[in-house]
Structure 1
Amino acid sequence: MASQDSESNAVSQVGGDRLIMVSNRLPVSLERTEDNDWRAHPAAGGLVSALDPVMRRRGGVWVGWPGIADETTDTLRRVLDERRHAEGDYRLEPVALSAEDIAGFYEGFSNEVIWPLFHNRFTACRFDPGYWQVYQRVNREFAHRISEVAHAGDFIWVHDYHLVNVAAALRELGVYNRSSFFQHIPFPTADIFCNLPWWREIVRGLLSYDFIGVQTVTDRSNFLDVLTTMFDRVETEASASGIDIEIGDDGLARHQRRLRIGTVPISIDYAHIEKVAASEESLACAARFRESWGDRTVVIGVDRLDYTKGLPEKFEAFRELLRRHPELRTHVTLQQHVVPSRQQVPEYIEQKQEIERRVGEVNGEFTEPGWVPIHYIFHRMDQPELMAHYQVADIALVTPLKDGMNLVAKEFCAAKRDGNGVLILSEFAGAAAELGEHALLVNPHDVVSTAECIHAACRMPVAERRRRMQAMRKIIRAHNAFDWVEEFLRAAGAAA
């Protein structure tokens, strides 16, 4: 266990020897088969897709839950070693969770409290004190597992809202390695955040880290506003790595230590996406898709099942497009892929029913022989198939109501190897800060303006489409996932 007699001694010994990555989920999920054997498969999600290639290049240890309940740590570690470790470039360290843990920590506090609150859905929150107790307990369990694998000199990088209290729990265990936290989702304004009954405890948990990274300048500003709400004296100073924050005597024993917060937007493995898009498997899929769609304009949507993604609003905008521009009927199709997610959470069950009702209404109103306006598919895809869909699509409709970044927008651009395509992007997605000058920005609540934006994209000259797409591809290529990691580690003072 990486403990020291004092915090100052531990900090002075940190040299960034290994990277300890910590997230709610491991990049590999385990499940038992019907014959009581084990199956391992890649975990889904934007965080895993961004970080796995980085860990494969850098090495280190990844701590997280492997997606199965009520198994012992020893069993999970053995199965991971057998099924994946031999082919991996970094070590996987599992955290064992019970069904009760998952219900209270993940489905409860993480997804019925923090997730809706941080996405401006205050009315969807369920402030159950039992959830908060389980959340704290699971964060302590993650900290315990980290303490067993971390050595003095290792740098601990904790990810996202599930694990805010890990650094504080590590300090309680006597582990003082340098640690940083990255918030993948938006950080809300102070008036929304302070509705959380335990908002002070969450802030104190964040203040236990040495560095906090967020997606946008707005997220950083919102966090600073929360600090000024909580403390009498908060002093900030711009630095090369972001904003240095010094807080007066707050009873947290921080004294002269400073917290840094920086804007470090996440990105994708651009070269890998291009490589997959150029693979024989992906190109063969793309050829089949092009033959299927013919000369129709294809608008693609790829969204995880979530009420933050604005799917009902998207379908209403497409309905408005067909009503206002009947000449586009039979000539344009929305191909909407929805990825299953959190299907035990009541809000998500209701969301799925709502979007399927909207799809049925639009298709019922406009379908003609040989043409269905919306092709809705509820499924998962492997990367070659997804890249094929991106390459065939003329327009990507990425319209979340609130999103930390949204990597679909970046993946679509990276996959457009011919440089011909239009990205319609919500102004409430973090990606708008980087791509907004060249994408077509919309307010997804305004279905009329969104409909007109789709119409403009359908009629956009090829030269303008290429100019905009090439500019976005250049931005993403110049700031890929590896650049993001190095930028974060430099800002956190732990660059290798």
Structure 2
Amino acid sequence: MRKKGRLIVVSNRLPVTLSYEDGKWRGKPASGGLVSALNPVLKNRGGFWAGWPGTGKGAGLSHIREILGPLSEESGYRLLPVMLTEVDVEAFYHGFSNSVLWPLFHDLQSRCVFSPAFWEGYLKSNGKFARVVAKHAGENDFVWVNDYQLIPLGEMLKKRRSGLRSSFFLHIPFPSVDVFMKMPWRKEILSQMTHYSFMCFQTGRDRRNFLDCLRVFFPDTAVSGRGHILRVKVEDRSFFLGSLPISIDFQAYSSLGSSRSVVSRAKTIREEVPGKQFVLGVDRLDYSKGIPEKLRGFQRCLERFPDLREMISLHQIVVPSRESVDQYQALKEEIELLISRINGRYSTTRWVPVNWHYGSVSREELAAIYRAADIALVTSLKDGMNLVCKEYCACKGKEPGVLILSEFAGAALQLAKGAVLVNPYDTDGVAEAIYRAFSMAEKEKRDRMRFLRKSIARQNVFWWVDNFLRAAAGKKLEEFPEQAIPSLWPGIITQAGKEK
């Protein structure tokens, strides 16, 4: 029996990116909010990260072995793959996860596709995750399940290993009762969420929505306690319930933003951008991010405040996502059309109002863009947290800057005092916020940025992890000591769902 517990993180995807080049599968560490948050947590603590490696047809276990071994050594924790078939991915990932839960939890229920086949595939794939995790988890290990794709996993793990306790963090928003109840499997999803020993949300608003739903569908729900952590009893089980805002490694971003190479590159970017100030948008291609609303707000700003023409520009970075999905292709086309219209109407021989980049940007280049930008504009229609706004502030250093932030982003609850909050549906409101940021006095800019940076530094990713672990496991991060990376084989689940 193991005396020292290990951290076992479970998410839909492994923190790696795989590609097929020159007749061979290759891998590299992935980027993203969850990866950035949990990499420093797992590193060198003898734990696992379980997830789908993102490969479909043509990638067998031998290829996975070749790729994940070196990547595990580089990451400092063991990568544990769950193999899914193309049918699984279609029903579980593209289907129930991203065509039911994602739009529903972002209050966009009109985009939901309530297919029974999606629900069946969702449960089937979660069963594969359960078999992998149950095979490798020790009695004293701490299992930390992440996000909406894996809601049923806690109950499934209980059935396989009655003594294994797991906790869950939802990274996206949780909807209000009137939205949530439109899903056919509403009670099943709620019940599955009550099988974790600790359920945690990004904000108190999400937690309240969850409790409201519980009280509707489980009228005998009992809640006790005060503050960030509550105790909830539903039927024959009880669990802790909390809200903790996820964050970033503030010091790492701050140091990067102040590094010589980034400062130099930021200076070059400022010289390249026409106009007195420039506004920055950084978003993944998704209808929840409000990119068209941002563009309409910027266009309205140029219409209402003609003195800003040739004085301000918008640089929009769009990171590709789900490019094979028709809705996302249509969104990309809408963005391109809006940018074309704005530039066609307002461009001059020496100024183009909107520049955009469709593709990923290196971490160092993004830090330089953050540092150079006078204004960051985040117009999410609904967001669990939004880490872009925190990265922007961290990279600014002592440079002044203004954060314009959607009031529908989870981060707005934490950063309201320092940011300029907007309703992204209010085109005039967004336009006025941009004008206000452009005209803001230097002292106010510095004071606001100082507040934002202090708040993010205080509640950084390590604060988030420590508080989550204390609530869920009664331990601090430092109580998971450094250990050797565990072996991976046997125990892998093949695409057919069998152990090998």
- Taking structure 1 as the reference length, the TM-score comes to 0.93
Mapped pair 1:347 → 2:335: no
| 2:71 paired residue among 81, 84, 93 | 84
Mapped pair 1:223 → 2:210: yes
| 2:456 paired residue among 441, 460, 476 | 476
Assess if the C-alpha contact under 8 Å between 2:319 and 2:360 holds in 1. Answer: yes
Q: Which residue of 1 aligns with 2:243?
A: 263
Assess if the C-alpha contact under 8 Å between 1:188 and 1:219 holds in 2. Answer: yes
| 1:45 paired residue among 24, 32, 41 | 32
| 1:112 paired residue among 99, 102, 108 | 99
Letter in 2 for 1:334: L
Distance 1:23 1:294, change over 3 A: same
Q: Which residue of 1 aligns with 2:263?
A: 283
Gaps of 5+ in 2: 480-500
Cα distance, 1:65 vs. partner? Answer: 1.2
Letter in 2 for 1:377: H
Mapped pair 1:154 → 2:141: yes
Q: Deviations over 1:56-91 (max 9, x none)?
A: 264411001111114667335412344312222111
Assess if the C-alpha contact under 8 Å between 1:71 and 1:97 holds in 2. Answer: no
Q: Which residue of 2 aligns with 1:18?
A: 6
Distance 1:445 1:59, change over 3 A: farther
Cα distance, 1:279 vs. partner? Answer: 3.1
Q: Deviations over 1:73-125 (max 9, x none)?
A: 73354123443122221111011111111111111111111000000111100
Assess if the C-alpha contact under 8 Å between 2:275 and 2:312 holds in 1. Answer: no
Bigger RCO (CA 8 Å, 6+ sep): 2
Q: Which runs of 4+ in 1 moved over 3 A?
A: 70-74, 80-83
Instruction: Tell me, in whole angstroms, the C-alpha distance in 2 between the residues paired with 1:349 and 1:172.
Output: 41
Instruction: Tell me, in whole angstroms, the C-alpha distance in 1 between the residues paired with 2:324 and 2:203.
Output: 31
Q: Which residue of 2 aligns with 1:100?
A: 87
Instruction: Tell me, in whole angstroms, the C-alpha distance in 2 between the residues paired with 1:226 and 1:71.
Output: 43
Assess if the C-alpha contact under 8 Å between 2:176 and 2:210 holds in 1. Answer: yes
Distance 1:225 1:146, change over 3 A: same
| 2:414 paired residue among 434, 455, 469 | 434
Distance 1:289 1:59, change over 3 A: farther
Between 47-56 and 390-399, the greater mean CA deviation after superposition: 47-56
SS in 1 for 2:280: strand
Assess if the C-alpha contact under 8 Å between 2:383 and 2:410 holds in 1. Answer: yes
SS in 1 for 2:168: strand
Cα distance, 1:296 vs. partner? Answer: 2.2
Identity in percent: 44
Instruction: Tell me, in whole angstroms, the C-alpha distance in 2 between the residues paired with 1:351 and 1:487.
Output: 38
Instruction: Tell me, in whole angstroms, the C-alpha distance in 1 between the residues paired with 2:72 and 2:473.
Output: 29
Q: Deviations over 1:455-474 (max 9, x none)?
A: 00000000000000000100
Assess if the C-alpha contact under 8 Å between 2:275 and 2:351 holds in 1. Answer: no
Q: How does 1:37-436 map to 2 (within 5 A)?
A: 37-56=24-43, 58-70=45-57, 74-75=61-62, 77-239=64-226, 242-247=229-234, 249=235, 255=236, 257-293=237-273, 296-436=276-416
Q: Deviations over 1:241-290 (max 9, x none)?
A: 5111112x4xxxxx2x4211101110001111112223344233213212
Cα distance, 1:191 vs. partner? Answer: 1.1
State how many pairs are aligned.
476
Q: Which residue of 2 aligns with 1:7?
A: none
Instruction: Tell me, in whole angstroms, the C-alpha distance in 2 between the residues paired with 1:476 and 1:305.
Output: 25
Instruction: Tell me, in whole angstroms, the C-alpha distance in 1 between the residues paired with 2:474 and 2:50.
Output: 19
Instruction: Tell me, in whole angstroms, the C-alpha distance in 2 between the residues paired with 1:197 and 1:336.
Output: 38
Assess if the C-alpha contact under 8 Å between 1:399 and 1:444 holds in 2. Answer: yes
Letter in 1 for 2:17: S
Distance 1:82 1:231, change over 3 A: closer
Q: Deviations over 1:364-394 (max 9, x none)?
A: 1101111111101111011100000000000
Letter in 2 for 1:19: L
Distance 1:415 1:431, change over 3 A: same
Instruction: Tell me, in whole angstroms, the C-alpha distance in 2 between the residues paired with 1:72 and 1:354.
Output: 35
How big is the alpha-carbon RMSD for the aligned residues of Structure 1 and Structure 2? 1.7
Between 466-475 and 283-292, the greater mean CA deviation after superposition: 283-292
Letter in 2 for 1:228: R
| 2:18 paired residue among 17, 30, 33 | 30
Between 48-57 and 109-118, the greater mean CA deviation after superposition: 48-57
| 1:491 paired residue among 464, 468, 471 | 471
Instruction: Tell me, in whole angstroms, the C-alpha distance in 2 between the residues paired with 1:38 and 1:311.
Output: 34
- Taking structure 2 as the reference length, the TM-score comes to 0.92
Cα distance, 1:396 vs. partner? Answer: 0.2
Letter in 2 for 1:345: V
Cα distance, 1:174 vs. partner? Answer: 2.6
Q: Which residue of 2 aligns with 1:9?
A: none
Q: Which residue of 1 aligns with 2:492?
A: none
Assess if the C-alpha contact under 8 Å between 2:194 and 2:238 holds in 1. Answer: no
